[in-house]
Amino acid sequence: MDEVNLIQRIVIWALPVLFAITVHEVAHGWMALKLGDRTAMMLGRLTLNPIKHIDPIGTLLVPALMLLVGGFIFGWAKPVPVTWENLRQPKRDMALVAAAGPLANLAMMVFWVVVLKLGLALAEDFSWVAQPLTYMSVAGIFINVVLMVLNLLPLPPLDGGRVVSGLLPDRLAWHYNRIEPYGFLILLVLFFTQVLGKIMWPIISAVFGGLFLVAAVPWDLFMNILQAII
Is the residue at 1 inside a domain?
A: no
Per the residue annotation, which of 3, 25, 85, 180 is the catalytic one?
25
Q: What pLDDT score does 69 carry?
A: 65
pLDDT in tens, 124-179: 777 778 888 999 999 999 999 999 999 999 999 899 999 999 999 999 999 999 99
Is the residue at 221 inside a domain?
A: yes
Residue 41 φ then ψ, to 5°: -65, -45
User: Does 85 participate in catalysis according to the annotation?
Assistant: no
Q: Rounded distance, CA 116 to CA 134, Å?
A: 5
The identity of residue 180, as a single letter, is: E
- Above 90 in pLDDT, residue 78? no
Asked if 26 contacts 47 with a C-beta cutoff of 8 angstroms, the reply is: yes
Instruction: Report how many domains make up the chain.
Output: 1
Q: Tell me the average pLDDT across 208-229.
A: 85
Domain hosting 54: range is 6-229
Is the residue at 198 inside a domain?
A: yes
Q: Rounded distance, CA 136 to CA 121, Å?
A: 15
| pTM of the predicted structure, to 2 decimals | 0.89
Q: What pLDDT score does 127 carry?
A: 76
Is the residue at 55 inside a domain?
A: yes
Q: What pLDDT score does 24 carry?
A: 94
Q: Rounded distance, CA 158 to CA 67, Å?
A: 24
Is the residue at 49 inside a domain?
A: yes
Q: What pLDDT score does 152 carry?
A: 94
Q: What pLDDT score does 229 carry?
A: 86
Is the residue at 25 inside a domain?
A: yes
